[in-house]
Amino acid sequence: MNVQLVFEDLRDAKLLRQIKRELKTAKHCAIYVEELSRVWPDDGKQREPKVARFAEDHSFRRRFYRDGLCASFRERATHTERERERERERTRAKSSDELGSSRSG
């Protein structure tokens, strides 16, 4: 087995544990460039596609990425969570419409 691949897997596993631990108590987890560099060293290639693939592979949503700063992850919303959010938005819009029509009438 390639020793380099073993080290990459260990770094990925450490990062994965860190993100999961943070997301137990927060809505998002920011990983700063120092940690990103340990997992994906700056080898002249863009890091962003690697970060995006990591997020996709582990069912996270990459909320934000800025080279040289950080990447921010959050849990990928389930179908039910998306539906609840859409329902809240419809309710807010309906309330705003009703409020506007009661003022003008």
Average confidence score pLDDT of the chain: 80
Report the pLDDT value the prediction gives residue 73, as an integer from 0 to 100: 92
What tens digit of pLDDT does each residue of 68-85 get?
A: 889 999 988 765 666 777
Could you say which DSSP state residue 1 is in? -
Q: What is the pLDDT of residue 4?
A: 54
Cross-strand bridge partners of residue 21: none
* pLDDT confidence of residue 18: 92
pLDDT score at 91: 83
Separation of alpha carbons 96 and 58, rounded Å: 38
Kindly state the DSSP code that residue 58 receives in the 8-state scheme: T
The string of pLDDT tens digits covering residues 17-62 is: 999 999 999 988 999 999 988 888 877 678 889 899 999 998 898 8
Q: Are 55 and 61 in contact (CB under 8 A)?
A: yes
